[in-house]
Each structure stands twice: as C-alpha cells, then as structure tokens.
Amino acid sequence: MRKGFYSGTARKISATAPADPQSLREPTKPEVTQTRTRRWRAFYKRHEKPLLVLAGAFAAVGLIALHGSFMTPPQVITQDDIDQAVTRTLETKILPSPAIKAYQAVRPSIVRVRAIGDGLEQDEYFQRAVGSGVVIINRGVILTSLHVVAGASRVRVQFEDGSESDAAIVSRQPEHDLAVLQASQIPDDLQAATLRSAKQLIEGEHVTAVGFPFGIGPSVSHGVISGLRRQYQSPDGERVLSNLIQFDAAANPGSSGGPLVNAAGEVIGIVTAILTTSEKAGFSGIGFAVPIEIAAGAAGLPPF
C-alpha cells in the first residue's frame, strides 16, 4: 500500500478569509433607536437655549391662535343702537332736576339779610325788611339789593351754617339798586360764589333763583331766561332800571338781593324786582335781575 505524500511547508491561508457572520447581519430596531436617541441628546445639549426659545415662541403663537378662535368678532355699534340705549336709559332712570346742581353749587354762599330799624320791640331790634344776598369774596363781601337795606340803622346777615353777624354797607349803586355789605364776623370755611359773565346768555336758558321769599329759605325756584336787556320801573316810579335779565323762576318779596344762577351754579345776576299787577305784591311770572358784570363792579371786582 502506497503512503500519501504531504508537503512540509505550511498551507497558505486565503487572504480573503470569510467575514464574521456576526458583522454581516443588519442592525436591529432597538439599536437604531438607541443611536438616534443618543444623537438627539447630543444635538439638544449643544442647542438647548435656542430650542427652548423656539419652543416658547411656537407655544405663544398656538395660544394666541387658540384664543382668537374662541373670541367673537367685535360688534359694530350704529347710531341707531346709541339712540335706543339712550331712550332705554331715559325711560328707566329718573334724571335729576337741573336746579339741583345749580343750588348745590351756590348754597354755601347764600345769606339771609335783615334790615333793622332804630326802635326796640320786646328787647329785640325791630325788623324792617328781610332780603337775600350772596357772598362774592370769601372775606365776607356780600352783594344784595339796595332797597333791602336802604334806611336801616343796622344790618344782620345769616350764613349757610346758621351763624349770624352784623354787616356794614360799604358801597351803594342806586342806579342799579345794588349794595355791597361787609360782614364783621364770618365762618372759617366761608365760600364765595362763582361768577359768570351774562354777556353770552340766550333766551330759553335754564336759570335758578335762590333766596328768602317772605323770609322763608333758602328757597329754590327754577325757570328760564325770558328776555334780555329789559327795563323796569317800580310802581311808585322811584326806581327805573335798565339792561336787566328777565326770568320766570318764581320770586317774591324777600327774594331781592339773591343770586340768579345758570345750570352750572354760576351767578349771572342779582334778583332786583318782580312785576306785579295787583296792589298786593306777588309773583306774576316775570322777574328781573341785574347782570353780574354791573353788580361785581359795585364791589370793585375787575370787569369780566
């Protein structure tokens, strides 16, 4: 039997050895996911702040869009809607009288004026007349009608807080039936009325008269301006006044010297007379007031 023949040199191994079967297989899904996760984490760490800002911006835009989707479009208000709303308000709400604002504005400045004679009666000075006045300077300067204090030996004024004081007549204007008083004692918080020029007044404008008719008051009456630049002559013919404001707010004996005020409570005149058609004085619907420009001039105030 023949023996086999073997070479003494080592057998060469092929340079292209078969690949490892493990390296040739496809990556599994879990491995791919882990790789992507690691990449995203690295990317997020490098760009963390810009990404947060971008995410916040997207969130804000989303919220705005969501809010806008729930908002109803603004309603267009027409003139008809406004008219209906005003009508409903007028029907359901009672508006205050124009006289309320006027009176509240001038009330702290109203004074009651008493002219006292020389005689004594029951240990009291005999009272000759009662009229009205208004404080125009807060140091106690008061405007009133001259016929209220004419011939008085003593004049007393009562302020809105109830306090009383003697008053001196410091100025007279017989041609306009005006007198200026200076109170000797005044309240600490005495208020002067606001004056307004009568030059711009028009017929039909609301006015309020405040005073002490028949000594009762302060009393408030409301009306309108009936005319301008009127003339008045007293029944005895002693007084002839011109350039007067005619008004129809109720006035009676005792109202003289009180203020005639506009809707804002500004004094535009001083009540001076009423027109009467009977022997017994009483209001007939026509009253007269001296424009405040003239009255203030009697107190030495600068012209309007």
**Residue corresponding to tokens 């005073």:** 211
- H/E stretch holding 241: strand 240-247
**What's the sign of the alpha-carbon dihedral 280, 281, 282, 285?**
positive
Q: How far apart are CA 223 and CA 208, in angstroms?
A: 6
Distances (CA, A) of 16 to 10, 11, 19, 22, 117: 17, 15, 8, 17, 149
Could you tell me the two tokens for 32?
Answer: 């791919």
Q: Which of 13, 30, 273, 256 is nearest to 143 (CA)?
A: 256
Reply yes or no on whether 197 is catalytic. Answer: no
Q: Give me the catalytic one of 109, 147, 206, 221.
A: 147
Identified catalytic residue from 177, 219, 226, 255? 177
DSSP 8-class letter at 21: G
Cα torsion at 238, 242, 247, 248 (round to 10°)? 30
- The identity of residue 15, as a single letter, is A
Structure token digits, residue 102 = 């006027």
* Residue 183, both tokens: 């109170």
Helix (H, G, I), strand (E, B) or coil at 278: coil
Q: Is 256 part of the annotated catalytic residue set?
A: yes
CA–CA dist 292, 192 (Å, integer):
14
Whether the Cβ atoms of residue 232 and residue 247 lie closer than 8 Å to each other: no
- Dihedral sign, Cα of residue 84, residue 86, residue 90, residue 93: positive
**Rounded Cα–Cα distance for residues 99 and 102 (Å):** 5
Cα separation, 230 vs 189, in Å, equals 37
Catalytic residue positions?
147, 177, 256
